[in-house]
Amino acid sequence: MIVKSNIIAEKFNRFYFSKKNNTENELSASYTHYLHNRNIIESNAYRDCVLEYIKKINNIGSSQNPISNKVAEEALQYISCEFKSAVPFPAHKKYQFKFIDLFAGIGGIRLAFQNLKGKCVFSSEWDKFSKLTYEANFGEVPFGDITKPEVKNYIPNGFDVLCAGFPCQSFSIAGKRGGFEDTRGTLFFDVAEIIKQKQPKAFFLENVKGLKSHDKGNTLRTILNTLRNDLNYYVPEPKIINAKDFGVPQNRERIFIVGFRKDLEIDSFKYPKELNKEVKLSDVLEKDEVSVKYYLSTTYLETLRKHKARHINKGNGFGYEILSNDGIANAVVCGGMGRERNLIVDNKLTNFVPVTKITGKVNREGVRKMTPREWARLQGFPDNFKIVVSDAQAYKQFGNSVAIPAIQATAELIIRKLIG
Ligand SMILES: C[S@@+](CC[C@H](N)C(=O)[O-])C[C@H]1O[C@@H](n2cnc3c(N)ncnc32)[C@H](O)[C@@H]1O
């Protein structure tokens, strides 16, 4: 029996690794979630999915002699024993609380909570490139579209904190009371539904600053009404927090919403105090020489300047800005022209770049884009965070992500309330 299970396990592994790049596949998510969570009771949903696959793969071509549950279980045990996760941010073996990571992106919120000895027991993200980055760093493939009931079914019971940086959308609340039912069809509704069903001890929600004034304040009002009155959580007034106050040179304001289940009798919460630590761009700039590809060509720089000059009075510039190394960056934003927003002057290079390296086309002022690694640092990602995607995707992913130190400072206070 054991020999048979080993053969089956190897066959499954071969199948799995041949499909590994298919991060759309619920198998990758179930398998990696299972491997990380197999010793805790909540991992049953993932285990059932992997067992089904083991049986399916091994039964192909041998439908007369399908393998039993017992053999599949043994094969799974064998696979689990072999599992070693060689990633920069593996899950803790000993952890103090469990959390889930919704709208996970590349795991900025996960890193903050994991740094505090949290164990992530479920993640969901539907963008395939973000999933690649997530897997490379955490060894886990997030599940996909969180609005789908079959994805929600994988969420285990009994986790402590729900984390979600959900996209901001309007609610249709005309003439209604502005609560749970009125949020139907939006991603906040899915978050609220999960809170209602799973009853985590606490939640941490993150959003753009504009949520506060969105739809004349109705959106935030509805969110708070739902969380406080329909879901019965203690939710202190949300706070707008700036990343620059927590040790990274980036002016990024985001709204944080925190809540605690009422039966825990937590009736006060203070958001973290600013650190008063002076930070500047030069703290995050690459120390080594940066590839010439990040330097703008003279022609491009000229075009940007002309375009900016033309539109500056209409408030419709190209969105780029040449920053001083002694200052701080504006919020990094994802996609499109956002890439060029934070340009810097790399004084080092202007002084000594070998003539051979600088073609006539590269500007001699030393104006360059910040590199993806510099954007990662602006968001407080450690340097061992792997960047495994193209530059274009990396800018998008870091721009979409969060400033980890601000999240972690808030998360620390949440966890302190929960476990002292
Ligand atoms: C603002 S970003 C969150 C970034 C994340 N907190 C981080 O640290 O990288 C929102 C993310 O939600 C994802 N998303 C949007 N709708 C989704 C859905 N229905 N299911 C799963 N992910 C979704 C987007 O792809 C995006 O990466």
Q: Which residues are catalytic?
A: 168
- Bigger pLDDT: 214 or 272? 272
Residue of 125, 130, 188, 378 best suited for mutating to test ligand 1, as the one with most atoms within 8 Å of CB:
125
Q: Give phi and psi for 359, each to the nearest 5.
A: -80, 165
303 or 193, higher pLDDT: 193
- Backbone angles phi and psi of 263, in degrees to 5: -65, -15
pLDDT digits (tens, 9 = 90+) for 292-311: 888 888 887 888 777 765 55
The C-alpha atoms of residue 332 and residue 316 are separated, in whole angstroms, by: 18
Q: What is the pLDDT of residues 195-242, one digit of tens each?
A: 999 999 999 999 999 899 888 888 899 999 999 999 999 999 999 999
Question: Considering the chain, what is the average pLDDT of its residues?
Answer: 85
Looking at the chain, the whole-number percentage of residues with pLDDT higher than 70 is 85
Q: What is the pLDDT of residue 312?
A: 47
> Could you identify the residue written with the tokens 């960056």?
329
What mean pLDDT comes out for the span 362-372? 83
Say if residues 69 and 91 touch (Cβ distance below 8 Å).
Answer: no
Nearest ligand 1 atom to the CA of 109 is: 8
Pocket of ligand 1 contains residue 127 by CB under 6 Å: yes
- Domains of the chain in start order, with CATH, are 2-82 (no CATH), 97-275+402-419 (3.40.50.150), 287-370 (no CATH)
Q: Could you give the residue ranges of the DSSP H alpha helices within 83-204?
A: 108-114, 128-138, 149-152, 187-198
DSSP calls for 331-382? PP--SGGGGGSEEEE-HHHHHH--TTTS-TTB-TT-EEEPPHHHHHHHTT--
Identify the weakest region by mean pLDDT among 99-108, 124-133, 150-159, 328-337. Answer: 328-337
167 lines ligand 1 (CB under 6 A): yes
Give the mean model confidence (pLDDT) for residues 126-146.
Answer: 95
Decide whether any atom of ligand 1 lies within 6 Å of the 145 Cβ.
yes
Q: 330: part of which helix (H) or strand (E)?
A: strand 329-330
